Structure 1
Amino acid sequence: MLSMGDLSEFLKVSFFGISVYQALLSFLILFLTLTMRRLIIGSFIRMLERYAEKSKTEWDNSVIQAIRPPLEVLILAYGIWLAVKILPQPTEPVDIKHFVNVIGEVLILLLGAWLLLRLVSVVDAVVKQKAADPKHWLDISIAPLITASLRILVVITSLIVIAQNLGYSVSGLVASLGLGGAAIALASKDTLSNLFGSMMIMVDKPFKVGDWIKGADFEGVVEEIGFRSTRIRTFGKTVENIPNNMIANVKVENMDRRKDKGYNVRRIKMTVGVSYSATADQMEKAVESLREILKTDPGVDQRMTTLVYFTDFGASSLDIFLYFFSNSAVWAEYLEVRQRVNLKIMRKLEELRLSIAFPSRSVYIESMPDNKSSGLSPGN
């Protein structure tokens, strides 16, 4: 039977520089880590869930689910790191002890960054839920910008802290980057202008995701507002990415804002040119007839301004200006109203025996005087 002295001597026996006592203790820590981590995490999570049940909010359950995987990996990594720390760690020819410490610190920082990124995903879900409420001040288009900013902040901060723990001088790195600051600033000019453009869109809120907007070179429904560009789905179902700095510096019409006031309309503006053969009485009758067409057409919104006037003596026509609104902003319905009104105008002008003018030029030729009257002779 082994005595306590014999057991003590046995534990001191070493193989390759590792004693039996150190090996057994390291193995015990690994065993407890693998078998107890789920029990520890499960107990901790259940405690948090009991508190969450008393809360009126729903996002706390999402937080609990977000932190569980990183905590499980953290306990496992810490157990492995502690088991390795118990074993002898030579400092020559390679400083294993320092290497193990650095690896442990970096691993903890990476797990912390992972945890924060998972929490940012929870924030993203909460922000989108709040923004979906039309009564809330948050806009759905701001949600991706908020979460993207938080993710960038977490990643940059984590990289800086990890670099410091690896022995790099962050201040020296920033100073060295200053040497190429001018080149970087020049290369990132468009990126920065797009970033400021997205900030202006967030602050001014000229439109939001789902709005129908129209500019000089684009028209469609906003699908996404990003850091660099705004994605628009055109009526031809193609996708256009418009740089935010361009949108911030041009005139943008928000066609859906009319719905906020109960006006789901679209403007129609045209000029009808009548030939110069028309008399004043015919022009007066034509203007009255066109007004009656717009007044009686079911597709013309009578709540909006309607104008019909003989306005100009054009280069080739007598111009009648028409200004009115269709009672639908839907593209196909708007075109149907416009076509119907155009056909009614053509029929009415035919009825009044008026013709629509087209660009033309009159050339007047005067007869030349004969040679005798001009005083010229054939020999001259």
Structure 2
Amino acid sequence: MINYEFFTQQFLGNSIQNYCIFAAILLFGLLLKRLFSKVLSRLTFRFFMRIQPGVDPKVFVELLIRPVEILILFLVVYLAINQLEYPLQEVIFRRTTLLNSVPSVFEVTLIEVIDNLFLFLFIVSAFWIFLRIIDFIAYVFEYKAALAESKTDSQMVPFMKELSKIMTIVVAVFVILGAVFNLNVATIIAGLGIGGIAVALAAQDTLQNLLGSFTIFADKPFVVGDLIRIDKYEGTVEKVGFRSTLIRTLDKTLVIIPNKKMVDSPLENLSLRNLRRMKFIIGLKYDTPSEIMKKISLEIEKFVNDHPLTSNDTLVSFDSFGDSSLNIQVLYFIEIVDYNEYMHIREDINYRIMQIVSENGADFAFPSQTVYHEQLAK
């Protein structure tokens, strides 16, 4: 038979029955919190499936499972602690103040501290879930932007994602100040409006960079993925943020340039050009006959014009008499904008030019000097 009197025994102000309920709730929650979080995540995903059908639900579940699991854990611990009544009602802080000449006692109990602590944790967990939902919505729009031909959406999605997260965090701070600390949020916002002038004066550069980011999105001088040249840097745009733009240079270095400079400085969008120009000098030895030079020039011009990835306006001509060489100028345009392909085409043409010069019995010149010594007759 079950001895009910055993469960009614008191220990540290609580019955053994209360302790058993506390342990059961805690054990049950810890064992099933992962299952509950997966179920809630999948149920929530059904609503967001309307945004973009066909998106893998694993992405949503992986983003949401951790914050939902933490929220369930806090809820389980809070419900378990609430089974222990008496010790939590003890006063841990008491202060007597005078209000309108009338003594007033301000007391804080342990249960109030725990309630406010868990309220704080619940709010943080809830807004953490909102942030993960923003991540998922951004993932969906990035997926849709990748399917579109235009790259404008790919540039806008990260910016709007960061903006939404910042606004969510600001709202979370005000909710915590009002709900947990019982502060007047309206008064705080009014105070921030007055102090905002001083903050704006102290953060002029930050505001200018923020306005620069809006200018970039409005004028669209470039989009993510474009090859640009600004100041002494040349590379591919990887991200446009609130304060700066990230550029991956040709030697794979990541350069961070403030948006104000991106707007104010001369900028070349190399991705918008339809041709890449190549111009260089071939130096042949001075003992090369003129007929051979003409033949070399014609063969180079014909080869470059016949190349499938160059334009038909190649110009190869005898340019000048150098200090130690006869200079032939080569000018042509490559129709490939991608840098890697452009380098391969350029290499192919250079190798062929070397073959043409060698096949015609000519040779490349190198810097040299000839000294003539004349002996005078006695």
TM-score range, shorter chain: 0.5 to 0.7
Q: Counterparts of 1:263-278 in structure 2 under 5 Å?
A: 263-266=274-277
Pairing partner for 2:76 from 76, 79, 93: 79
Distance 1:36 1:243, change over 3 A: closer
Task: Report what 2:116 is aligned to.
Answer: 102
Alignment of 1:231-246 (within 5 A): 231-235=246-250, 238-246=253-261
Given the superposition, is the C-alpha separation of residues 136 and 221 from structure 1 closer, same or farther in structure 2, using an over 3 Å criterion?
A: closer
**Runs of 5+ consecutive residues of structure 2 not aligned to the other structure:** 94-108, 280-293, 316-328, 351-378
Distance 1:297 1:205, change over 3 A: farther
Structure 1 counterpart of 2:226: 211
Contact 2:238 / 2:248 at 8 angstroms: preserved in 1?
yes
Pairwise CA distance, 1:128: 2.5
> SS in structure 2 opposite 1:241?
strand
1:192 pairs with 194, 207, 220, which one? 207
1:230 equivalenced with 2:245 (yes/no):
yes
Q: Which moved more, 1:169-178 or 1:106-115?
A: 169-178
Q: Distance in 1 between matches of 2:229 and 2:32?
A: 61
The answer on 1:221 being equivalent to 2:236 is: yes
TM-score, normalised via structure 2 length: 0.63
Q: Relative to structure 1, is the Cα distance of residues 198 and 305 closer, same or farther in structure 2, using a 3 angstrom cutoff?
A: farther
**As a proportion of its length, which structure holds more strand?**
2
Distance 1:250 1:172, change over 3 A: same
* Partners of 1:298 and 1:176 in 2: CA distance: 74
Change (3 A) 1:2 1:62: closer
Q: How does 1:290-369 map to 2 (within 5 A)?
A: 326-327=333-334
Tell me how far apart the structure 1 counterparts of residues 249 and 31 of structure 2 sit (CA, whole Å).
Answer: 57
In the TM superposition, 1:48-87 aligns within 5 A as 56-87=53-84
- Whole-Å Cα distance in 2 between the matches of residues 142 and 267 of structure 1? 35
1:16 to 6, 12, 16: 12
Q: What's the CA shift string for 1:270-317, capped at 9, x where partnerless?
A: xxxxxxxxxxxxxxxxxxx9xx99x957658766799xxxxxxxxxxx
Please say which structure displays the higher CA radius of gyration: 1
Q: Given that residues 37 and 76 in structure 1 are in contact (C-alpha distance below 8 angstroms), is that contact kept between their aligned partners in structure 2?
A: yes
Task: Select 1:181's aligned residue among 189, 193, 196.
Answer: 196
How far apart, CA to CA, are the structure 2 residues paired with 1:244 and 1:53? Answer: 36
SS in 1 for 2:155: coil
Task: Output one character per residue of 1:328-365: Cα deviation in whole Å (capped at 9) or x when no partner.
Answer: 56586789999xxxxxxxxxxxxxxxxxxxxxxxxxxx
Determine if contact 1:85/1:100 at 8 Å carries over to the other structure: no
Q: Which moved more, 1:134-143 or 1:119-128?
A: 134-143
Give the structure 2 partner of residue 162 of structure 1: 176
* CA positional deviation for 1:43: 5.2
Check whether the contact 1:214–1:220 (CA below 8 A) recurs between aligned residues: yes
2:127–2:172: 8 Å Cα contact kept in structure 1? Answer: yes
1:147 aligned residue: 161
The whole-number CA distance in structure 1 between the counterparts of 2:254 and 2:41 is: 45
Query: Could you tell me the TM-score, scaled by structure 1's length?
Result: 0.63
SS of the residue 2:205 aligns to: helix
Match of residue 201 from structure 1: 216
- What secondary structure sits across from 1:231 in the alignment? strand
| Structure 1 pair 254–298 and aligned structure 2 pair: CA distance change class (3 A) | farther
Which amino acid letter does the alignment assign opposite residue 266 of structure 1? R
Instruction: State how far apart, in whole Å, the 2-side matches of 1:2 and 1:141 are.
Output: 69
Tell me if structure 2 keeps the 8 A contact 1:326–1:334.
Answer: no
Equivalent residue for 2:25, pick from 29, 34, 39: 29
Residue 112 of structure 1 and its aligned partner are, at CA, apart by 1.0
| Aligned amino acid, residue 182 of structure 2 | G
Paired with 1:38 and 1:69, the residues of 2 have a C-alpha distance of 9
Q: Does 1:255 pair with 2:276?
A: no
Determine the C-alpha separation between the residues in 1 that align with 2:243 and 2:209.
Answer: 5
Instruction: Give the deviation of 1:59 after TM superposition.
Output: 4.5
**Is 2:64–2:133's contact at 8 Å kept on the other side of the alignment?**
yes
Deviations 1:183-215 (A, max 9, x none): 311222111111121122123222122322234
Identity score, percent? 28
Deviation at 1:82, TM superposition (A): 0.9
8 Å CA contact 2:49, 2:55 repeated in 1: no
User: What is the match of residue 355 of structure 1?
Assistant: none
Amino acid paired to 1:202: F
Which digits, 9 at most, give the CA deviation of each residue in 1:68-97, with x for residues without a partner? 222222222212101111212214234112
Note the aligned Cα RMSD (angstroms).
Answer: 4.2
1:40-62 Cα shifts (integer Å, max 9, x gaps): 44555676789999994215442
Partner Cα distance (1:187, 1:100) in 2 = 39
Q: Which runs of 5+ in 1 are unaligned?
A: 269-288, 307-321, 339-380
Q: CA deviation at 1:19?
A: 2.1
